[in-house]
Amino acid sequence: MTESTHYRICPLCEACCGLEIKLRDGEVTSIRGHDADVLSAGYICPKAVALKDLHEDPDRIRTPLIKRNGVFEPSTWDEAFAEIERRLPPVRATHGRNAVAITVGNPSAHKIGLLTYFGKLARALGTKNVFSASTLDQMPKQLASGLMFGHWLSVALPDISRTKLLIVIGANPLVSNGSMWTVPDFRGKAKALKARGGKLIVIDPRRTETAKVADAHHFIRPSADVFLLAAMVHTLFAEGLVKLGSTAAWVNGVEQVRAAVAPFTPEAAAPRCGIATNTIRELARQLANTERAAIYARIGTCTQEYGTAASWLVDVLNTLTGHVDQIGGVLFAKSAAFASNTTGKPGIGKGVTTGRHHARVSGAPEVYGELPITCLAEEIETPGKDQVRALFTVASNPVLSSPDGPRLARALDTLDFMVSMDIYVNETTRHADVILPGLSPLEDLHFDVAFPQLSWRNHARYSPPVLPPAPGQPQEWQTLLKLAAIVQGKGAACDAEALDDAQFAEDAQRLFGSHADAVIAATMALKGPERTLEVALRTGPYGDHFGQRPEGLTLAKVIASNPTGGIDLGELQPRIPEMLRTPSGKIELAPPLLLQDLQRATQDLRALAPDLVIIGRRDVRSNNSWMHNLPTLAKGPFRCTALVHPVDALRLGLKDGTQAHLRNGTRSVQAQVQISDEMMPGVVSLPHGWGHDRPGTQLHVAAERPGTNLNALLNDQSRDPVSGNAVLGGVAITMEAVVSGQCE
Ligand SMILES: Nc1nc2c(c(=O)[nH]1)N[C@H]1C(S)=C(S)[C@@H](COP(=O)(O)OP(=O)(O)OC[C@H]3O[C@@H](n4cnc5c(=O)[nH]c(N)nc54)[C@H](O)[C@@H]3O)O[C@H]1N2
Ligand SMILES: Nc1nc2c(c(=O)[nH]1)N[C@H]1C(S)=C(S)[C@@H](COP(=O)(O)OP(=O)(O)OC[C@H]3O[C@@H](n4cnc5c(=O)[nH]c(N)nc54)[C@H](O)[C@@H]3O)O[C@H]1N2
Ligand code: SF4
Ligand SMILES: [Mo]
């Protein structure tokens, strides 16, 4: 009998907790929090334990699948690549590069192989039709941060361990464990905040788990955040509360903001957002008058028509109250590797431009090289030059995760060819012609590329694979390289890794000039993402600069720190002006794109509230669309319920536990009603990522309690026009009881 203990970063959500995993004879016997972990100190949530289920899940794909006569058949890797080589190049040759689209989904953010090599496939394709989960999620935040601070990952993070006041708007970190903010054990940190006399305030249309531990909670009318936030900014100017503090020399555009928010008096905004005028003023005053304070917003403020404007106003508030770049306010992480705000010339950069090309059908502008994922169905359906005829999906399940999933599912069936890199035959991948599986997380190494740039504390951690991969199973970066080579006409039989080595050598010459040979020699033992990581760490802000700073970081040092929980690089520190990458070298408080968008909001200031609107919800035992097949998480009370306020239930004749129709125009779904005074009256909440009753999927556990697909109710044409982000909340619906025996 052999027993071993391994330490691994959890890849399932943005909290990035450190795990301690015990094995006996190659089988997982326990998964716990790693107490010594420098970031998470032993904290975990129930999803981590389900990594065992995921590893052992009989439905998880372990060999490539090729669809023949409508049925998936297992194949070898060579057969699968040969099939792709046979079918993909003719589509490109006949219809051009834009005829092949690619989507990349959420799990790729947690996989260094996918994150660092996805771009190679996208570049090889050379298509405009690049889509991702970002436009279902944080694109507004990315864009607002990019326009203000110069890079999309330069996100202002609450300094939770030192603040005295935290206002959370449109986020539920107690359940989500933080987003665009890596903050494991939010509950513990909120408790510590309160213990030192600090305050937590939550603004949300539901009295959430986070609201329940807060000092105050205010209901807000969904999608009306821009009005509340603009009125708070208005109050700062009206009451002389603006004080920029030590960043004053680095802020552009204060007067433009003052003029832009003029129409948003608390009196005008209050009926629109459902928050009383005195509360709006008090929130602004508290933020301004508390020495160490921060306002933090997330997906609830992004997935709406004014998502970018709302995300921007949050940091306008942080800046105008002097909390930006302040200890106890909001700070910027200094990541050990891959951060654009630590490379190039300090304090100045290219900034951000959008609309370098546009979606063919809707005309939606490109943002950070992507088009809105809600354009995908129409790009497939609409005939003409550049019509999408083939698709790659990479760790992406848009049939459940994107609005109007049923329309997209129909469109996918009309494609000439579709390849999915995925680990399940699910609602999206069932439409593919070839599925190429990734490794189980336990078989893969782990280093977070993006999340240290968003973490509450600076650190560097690396996890080696816990278990060896099955023989012959490539890592996902190797699969991406092979696909890129096929697209480039180099042939499925080519040595894609040798091509990668040659590319690396070429890049090294360009980046390191006369030092290139030394860099190549120093990284010779490494391949793929590990080689990229070694270079990023060693040339990063804490790096050894290939021997020039011998005490600095190397990959070997980070690997060696794995059993002791990684390397702690300390609390976040003020970084302005050095981290800015705007062309002016200043914080751009008034980007023209956003000033213009605020005018659009002005026109909408007096819109009336619909009787009933729907919003989403997350549960700690679930993660987007793909973890409902894991028995540990699937058990327990049914979670895909529609929460309805008692007053609405009475008005609509809905009874707890019964089924109701939810309708949005011609779209309609059925869901189980759960009556709850957690909801703001007039607001219904239903989680997303459910609806596992589609034919042709292989998710046996999930199919037992499939739940309702919220996105079958939502319209794929509703977007924030600035960022292209989908509108996922605040959508007007009607609800009525299902009469027994009645079908959809
Ligand atoms: N209505 C509504 N819709 C929403 C949201 C909402 O709040 N409301 N939230 C949105 C948000 S924030 C997000 S991020 C998106 C997420 O939407 P997606 O990006 O589509 O992500 P998931 O739903 O998590 O699906 C992940 C896919 O990756 C596969 N997968 C899992 N692990 C691996 C792996 O290791 N390798 C590979 N190759 N594949 C893997 C899964 O089987 C699944 O097919 O959903 C969005 N959709
Ligand atoms: N357990 C679990 N954890 C997750 C995920 C998961 O599916 N399950 N998904 C992960 C992903 S991909 C992401 S992006 C993050 C998201 O992390 P969070 O942003 O914290 O996401 P939610 O928990 O959906 O919280 C959004 C909150 O916004 C509220 N809300 C809805 N509409 C509005 C509105 O118009 N205005 C305001 N002010 N509030 C509104 C909702 O009631 C909800 O409480 O979570 C991640 N973590
Ligand atoms: S909060 Fe849970 S799912 Fe997220 S990283 Fe930590 S253990 Fe994993
Ligand atoms: Mo997300």
Ligand 3 atom closest to the CA of 46, numbered from 1: 2
Residue 271 maps to which CATH number? Answer: 3.40.228.10
* Ligand 2 contact, 305 CB (< 6 A): no
The answer to the question of residue 52 being in a domain is no
Structure tokens belonging to residue 443: 């078989």
Domain assignment of residue 168, yes or no: yes
Helix 225-238 / helix 277-289 crossing angle, nearest 10 deg:
60
CB of 225 shorter than 6 A to ligand 2: yes
Answer yes or no: are the C-beta atoms of 130 and 369 closer than 8 Å: yes
* Nearest Cα residue to atom 17 of ligand 1: 401
Atom of ligand 1 nearest to the CA of 441: 35
Q: Are residues 311 and 361 in the same domain?
A: no
The whole-chain average pLDDT of the chain stands at: 97
- Residues 204 and 300 reside in one and the same domain: yes
pLDDT tens per residue across span 481-498: 999 999 999 999 999 889
Residue after which a domain boundary falls, among 585, 603, 621: 603
- Residue nearest atom 7 of ligand 1, based on CA coordinates: 616
Distance CA 29, CA 217 (A): 42
Ligand 4 geometric centre to CA of 170 (Å): 13
User: What ranges in 126-171 are assigned the alpha helix state H?
Assistant: 139-149
102 CA distance to ligand 2 middle (Å)? 26
* Pocket mutation for ligand 1, best pick of 112, 117, 132, 136 (most atoms within 8 Å of C-beta): 136
Query: Which ligand has the shortest distance to the CA of 725?
Result: 1
Calculate how far, in angstroms, residue 49's C-alpha sits from the geometric centre of ligand 2. Answer: 22
Pocket probe for ligand 1: among 106, 223, 418, the residue whose CB has the most ligand atoms within 8 Å is 106
List pLDDT tens digits, range 334-348: 999 999 999 999 999
**Cβ contacts of residue 300 below 8 Å, gap of 6+?**
169, 170, 171, 204, 205, 222, 225, 615, 729
pLDDT digits (tens, 9 = 90+) for 238-264: 999 999 999 999 999 999 999 999 999
Q: Which domain holds residue 177?
A: 139-332+338-345+575-603
Beta bridge partners of residue 168, listed in sequence order:
202, 296
Residue 1 has pLDDT above 90, yes or no: no
Residue 414, in any domain of the structure: yes
What was the pLDDT predicted at 741?
60
Considering the domain architecture, whether residues 114 and 155 belong to the same structural domain is answered as no
Q: How far apart are CA 419 and CA 394, in angstroms?
A: 9
Regarding whether 240 and 185 lie in a shared domain, the answer is: yes
* Nearest CA, atom 44, ligand 1: 397
Instruction: Determine, yes or no, domain membership for 520.
Output: no
Question: 579 and 698, same structural domain?
Answer: no
Of 396, 417, 432, which residue constitutes the final position of a domain? 432
Rounded mean pLDDT of 639-665? 97
- Which ligand 2 atom lies nearest to the CA of residue 13? 47
| Atom 42 (ligand 2) nearest CA | 206
294, 158 in Cβ contact below 8 A? yes
Spatial separation of the C-alpha atoms in residues 49 and 30, rounded to whole Å: 8
Nearest ligand, CA of residue 50?
A: 3
End-to-end CA distance of the chain: 56
The fraction of the chain above a pLDDT of 70, given in percent, is: 99
Q: Residue 44 CA: which ligand 3 atom is closest?
A: 7
- Clarify whether residues 219 and 143 are in a common domain: yes
Least confident among 20-24, 316-320, 466-470, 645-649: 466-470
Ligand 2 lined by 428 (C-beta under 6 Å)? no
pLDDT tens digits for 464-483?
999 999 899 999 999 999 99
Are 309 and 229 members of one domain?
Answer: yes
Do residue 162 and residue 304 come from a single domain? yes
Cis peptide before 577 (omega within 30 of 0): yes
Q: Is the CB of 440 under 6 A from ligand 1?
A: no
Q: Is the CB of 618 under 6 A from ligand 1?
A: no
Query: What is the whole-number distance in angstroms between the Cα of residue 705 and the centre of ligand 1?
Result: 19
Number of domains, the chain:
3
User: Is the confidence at residue 606, as pLDDT, over 70?
Assistant: yes
Averaged pLDDT, 123-131: 98
Ligand 1 atom showing the smallest separation from residue 424 Cα = 42
Residue 624 in domain: yes
* Band of residue 740 on the pLDDT scale cut at 50, 70, 90: confident
Q: Are residues 112 and 193 in the same domain?
A: no
d(CA 33, CA 44): 5
- Please state, in angstroms and rounded to a whole number, the distance separating the CA atoms of residues 382 and 262: 43
Residues 716-725: tens digit of each pLDDT: 999 999 999 9
pLDDT of residue 744: 47
Instruction: State residue 456's pLDDT score.
Output: 98
Cα 616 to averaged position of ligand 2 atoms, centre (Å): 7
* Nearest protein Cα to ligand 2, atom 32: 300
Residue 696: CATH number of its domain: 2.40.40.20
Last-in-domain residue among 432, 448, 483: 432
Q: Summarize pLDDT for 22-64 with one digit per residue, the tens.
A: 999 999 999 999 999 999 999 999 999 999 999 999 999 999 9
Does residue 152 fall inside a structural domain?
yes
- 249 with 328, same domain: the answer is yes
Strand partners, 175: none
516 lies in a domain? Answer: no
Mean pLDDT of 593-617: 96
* Measured distance CA(309)–CA(23) in Å, rounded: 49
Q: Is 172 in the pocket of ligand 1 (CB under 6 A)?
A: no
Residues 184 and 121 placed together within one structural domain of the fold: no
Q: Compute the distance between CA of residue 557 and CA of residue 560 in angstroms, rounded to an integer.
A: 5
Number of C-beta neighbours around residue 526 at 10 A: 15
Per DSSP, the residues of 441-455 read: GGGS-B--SSGGGGB
Q: Which ligand is nearest to the CA of 425?
A: 1
**Which residues keep their CB under 5 angstroms from ion ligand 4?**
137
Q: Whose CA is nearest to atom 23 of ligand 1?
A: 625
Which is the closest atom of ligand 1 to the Cα of 711?
A: 1
Nearest-angstrom CA–CA distance, 702 and 19: 26
| Cα radius of gyration rounded to whole Å, the chain | 25
pLDDT of residue 242: 98
The CATH number linked to 368 is 3.40.50.740
| 218: nearest Cα among 273, 176, 266 | 273
Q: Which numbered atom of ligand 2 lies nearest the CA of 137? A: 14
Predicted confidence (pLDDT) per residue in 674-711, tens digit: 999 999 999 999 999 999 999 999 999 999 999 999 99
Do both 115 and 169 map to the same domain?
no
In a domain, 744, yes or no: no
Q: Is the CB of 688 under 6 A from ligand 1?
A: yes
CA distance 183 to 40: 8
CA of 703 to the centre of ligand 4 (A): 23
